[in-house]
Amino acid sequence: MGFTKAELEAFRDAEVPDLVGADPKLVIVGINPGLWTAAVQTHFARPGNRFYPALYAAGILDRRIDPGAGMTDQDRAALVARGIAITNLVRRATARADELSRDELVAGRAGLEAFVRRHRPPVVAMLGITAYRAAFGQPKAGLGRQPADLCGAQLWVVPNPSGLNAHATIASLATAYAEPARAAGIELYTRSTVAG
C-alpha cells in the first residue's frame, strides 16, 4: 500500500485511537501520529519506522508485525494480551513531530496524566527525549528511568524509533525498550540473534 503526498496531507490533524486493554502493564507513548499512521489508523505504521522490529528484537513480541497497511485485529489482540498499550502525547497527526509547538507538548502531558490515572499501568515508556524534555519541563533529562513517577507509574524515556533518529539502530532500540518491559513484568521471548 502506498500514498501520494497529497493523499497523506488529507490526514493532517486526524487522530488515531489508543490501543489499550483492560489491564495494561506497559503504556508506550508516542509523540504524535504521523500522516501514514493516521491514514491506516495504526500506531507507528510508516514504512521504515523501527518500532515493531525493535519490539520483536527485544522479545516483547513473539512474531513480526508489519503495520504499513494497517494492523490486523490479531496483531492488536497480541499486543493487548501482552499487557501493552499505545497512546500519544499529542493526538493530532502531522508529517513530522517537530511541527508541534511546545504548548501542544505541555498540554499533551495533562492528557497523558489523565490516561495513566484512568488505566493505572505500573510502567509508562515515552518515546523521544526531546519531546519529553519539552512536555515535562525537564531540559536536562536523560534516557532511562526518570527519578519521578508519573501518576504512580514508573516513567521511562526511551529513544524515538523514527528513521529520522539516525543515532538509533533496531538493536539499540530493542535494548532500550526491553528495560521498561522487564520493569512492567512482561516476560521477554528469547532471540538467538538480534538484527541491527
- The radius of gyration computed from the CA coordinates of the chain, to the nearest angstrom, equals 16
Q: Would 63 be classed as within a structural domain?
A: yes
What pLDDT is recorded for position 194? 43
Section 184-188 average pLDDT: 97
Section 18-36 average pLDDT: 97
The grid coordinates listed for 166 are: 539516525
On average, the pLDDT of the chain sits at: 94
**pLDDT band at residue 46 using 50, 70 and 90 as cut-offs:** very high
d(CA 186, CA 170): 20
What pLDDT is recorded for position 21? 97
Q: Would 194 be classed as within a structural domain?
A: no
Q: Would 151 be classed as within a structural domain?
A: yes
CATH number for the domain that contains residue 57? 3.40.470.10
| Burial (CB count within 10 angstroms: exposed 0-12, middle 13-18, buried 19+), residue 63 | exposed
- For residue 60, pLDDT over 70 is answered with yes
What pLDDT is recorded for position 127? 98
**Which residues have CB under 8 Å from 126's CB, separation 6+?**
29, 89, 132, 155, 156, 157, 158
d(CA 124, CA 30): 11
d(CA 30, CA 42): 12
Section 40-51 average pLDDT: 94
Q: Would 193 be classed as within a structural domain?
A: no
- For residue 196, pLDDT over 90 is answered with no
Q: SS3 for 179? A: helix
What pLDDT is recorded for position 2? 86
Percent of the chain with pLDDT over 90: 89
Q: Would 67 be classed as within a structural domain?
A: yes
31 is in which domain, residue-wise?
A: 5-183
Section 134-150 average pLDDT: 98
What pLDDT is recorded for position 191? 62
Section 149-174 average pLDDT: 94
- For residue 105, pLDDT over 90 is answered with yes
Q: Would 43 be classed as within a structural domain?
A: yes
What pLDDT is recorded for position 193? 42
Section 107-115 average pLDDT: 98
d(CA 52, CA 41): 15
Q: Would 195 be classed as within a structural domain?
A: no
Our count of domains for the chain comes to 1
Q: Would 140 be classed as within a structural domain?
A: yes
Give the DSSP letter string of 43-110: TT-STT--HHHHHHHHTS-SS---GGG---HHHHHHHHHTTEEEEESS-S-BSSGGGS-HHHHHHHHH
**pLDDT band at residue 192 using 50, 70 and 90 as cut-offs:** low
